[in-house]
């Protein structure tokens, strides 16, 4: 028997090209969404090493299952209780169905199940993945990328390395926050406070950054930490009033936080918006419309984000722009930021 040199692996190509396995996989399989400079490096490494894609692995990727996985980093109980996720899922479901792709929702009980999700994704059961990962230290994105599947993220991922290799859809959290704080300034408010979301989530960090863009010299006492819940909004509002009783406006990081703040303001006998103006974020129904008074807030198109995630993934899989189900144009960028709108109701 003659000894043959070991066949070069996908890993070897990735190492030589200085890119991730996922990127090699996508270039080799002709998927879109890889920058040309990167793709060229991969092609050169393939040639230099004499790499031949594994036929089985290749067929898993190139054979379309007409199925797309949706993965959330949150446990099943939170996913099902979260109206925000339900709205995004609605958009995803409509778009996938319009293109005859099966929506495969992978649920977990917690982080310890993420490795199993990674195995399923790598097992050749779906053509791509739509991933919601909210927290900076979440291991899920790495597992998903390791699976080598075309992926679109919901929300800007929390890591920086290799971000231009990542496709994601997000709202303009920073710009939306700026519009909220500018609106409060336009009403003549001078002591504007901010209740943040959990700052290990990029959406919360971006909204805080937008607040600081407009009010760079804000007294640190006017910023209190919340957690996107109404209970967190109540706690933070009490803290702010104790620290800065003269504040005349609050920008809350989301509508639930604003609802909690409104309860505390009422409890303390402060009139909204006369004494304190309030602006939320999301335009989450029915919270925003049914709050007392009805909430001025920054609207994001949550269902539209879901539709766009699905559309971008399908475009990458098909190697061309599909006709969007509602005829809307499909953007070309690899990170897509959707605009927000200020919705004026009664609180500011």
Measured between alpha carbons, how far is 115 from 138 in angstroms, rounded to an integer?
A: 12
C-alpha distance from residue 146 to each of 14, 39, 129, 225 (Å)? 12, 18, 12, 34
Among 57, 105, 142, 337, binds a copy of itself (CB under 8 A): 105
| Contact present, 24 and 14 (Cβ < 8 Å) | yes
Q: Rounded to the nearest whole angstrom, what is the least distance from the CB of residue 120 to a copy of itself in the complex?
A: 5
**DSSP for 208-260?**
HHHHHHH-TT--GGGEEE--SSHHHHHHHHHHHHHH-TT--EEEESSHHHHHH
Among 59, 62, 97, 341, binds a copy of itself (CB under 8 A): 97
263-322 binders of a copy of itself (CB under 8 A): none
Q: Please identify, among the stretches 100-108, 156-164, 252-260, 310-318, the one whose residues bind a copy of itself according to the rule CB under 8 A.
A: 100-108
Q: Report the candidate in 90, 263, 68 with the shortest Cα–Cα distance to residue 150.
A: 68
Q: Please identify, among the stretches 11-19, 74-82, 144-152, 204-212, the one whose residues bind a copy of itself according to the rule CB under 8 A.
A: 74-82
Among 45, 103, 256, 279, binds a copy of itself (CB under 8 A): 103
CA angle, corner 89, sides to 85 and 90, nearest 5?
120
Q: Is 78 in the site for a copy of itself (CB under 8 A)?
A: no
Among 125, 182, 225, 243, binds a copy of itself (CB under 8 A): 125
Q: Is 122 in the site for a copy of itself (CB under 8 A)?
A: no
Q: Is 108 in the site for a copy of itself (CB under 8 A)?
A: yes
| Contact present, 75 and 135 (Cβ < 8 Å) | no
| Contact present, 262 and 272 (Cβ < 8 Å) | yes
Q: Is 77 in the site for a copy of itself (CB under 8 A)?
A: yes
**Smaller CB distance to a copy of itself: residue 110 or 221?**
110
Give 129: exposed, middle or buried? Use CB within 10 Å, 0-12, 13-18, 19+: buried
Among 18, 123, 221, 339, binds a copy of itself (CB under 8 A): 123
Q: Rounded to the nearest whole angstrom, what is the least distance from the CB of residue 145 to a copy of itself in the complex?
A: 19
Tokens 């709050």 belong to 291
**Smaller CB distance to a copy of itself: residue 103 or 298?**
103
Q: Please identify, among the stretches 24-32, 81-89, 147-155, 284-292, the one whose residues bind a copy of itself according to the rule CB under 8 A.
A: 81-89
Q: Residues in the site for a copy of itself, rule: CB under 8 A?
A: 65-67, 76-77, 80-81, 86, 89-90, 93-94, 97, 100, 102-109, 113, 116-117, 119-120, 123, 125
């Amino acid at each position: 028997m003659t000894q043959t040199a070991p066949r070069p692996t996908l890993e070897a190509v990735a190492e030589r090209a200085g890119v991730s396995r996922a990127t090699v996989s996508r270039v080799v399989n002709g998927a879109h969404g890889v920058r040309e400079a990167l793709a060229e490096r991969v092609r050169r490494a393939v040639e230099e090493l004499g790499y031949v894609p594994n036929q089985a692995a290749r067929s898993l990727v190139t054979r379309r299952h007409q199925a797309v996985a949706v993965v959330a980093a949150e446990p099943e109980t939170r996913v099902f209780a979260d109206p925000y996720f339900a709205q995004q899922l609605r958009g995803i479901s409509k778009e996938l169905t319009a293109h005859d792709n099966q929506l495969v929702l992978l649920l977990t009980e917690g982080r310890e199940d993420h490795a199993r999700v990674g195995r399923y994704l790598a097992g050749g059961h779906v053509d791509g993945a739509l991933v919601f990962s909210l927290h900076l230290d979440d291991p899920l994105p790495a597992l998903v990328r390791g699976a080598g599947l075309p992926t679109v993220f919901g929300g800007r991922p929390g890591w920086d390395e290799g971000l231009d290799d990542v496709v994601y859809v997000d709202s303009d959290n920073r710009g939306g926050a700026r519009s909220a704080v500018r609106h409060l300034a336009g009403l003549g408010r001078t002591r504007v406070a901010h209740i943040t979301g959990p700052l290990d989530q990029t959406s919360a960090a971006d909204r805080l950054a937008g607040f600081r863009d407009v009010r760079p010299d804000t007294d640190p006492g006017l910023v209190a930490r919340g957690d996107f819940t109404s209970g967190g909004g109540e706690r933070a509002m009490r803290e702010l009033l104790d620290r800065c009783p003269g504040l005349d406006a609050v920008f809350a990081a989301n509508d639930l936080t604003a609802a909690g703040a409104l309860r505390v303001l009422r409890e303390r006998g402060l009139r909204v918006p006369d004494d304190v103006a309030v602006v939320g974020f999301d335009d989450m129904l029915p919270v925003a419309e049914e709050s007392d008074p009805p909430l001025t807030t920054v609207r994001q198109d949550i269902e539209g984000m879901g539709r766009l995630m699905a559309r971008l993934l399908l475009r990458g899989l098909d190697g061309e722009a599909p006709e969007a189900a509602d005829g809307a144009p499909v953007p070309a960028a690899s990170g897509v930021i959707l605009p927000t709108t200020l919705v004026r109701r009664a609180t500011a």
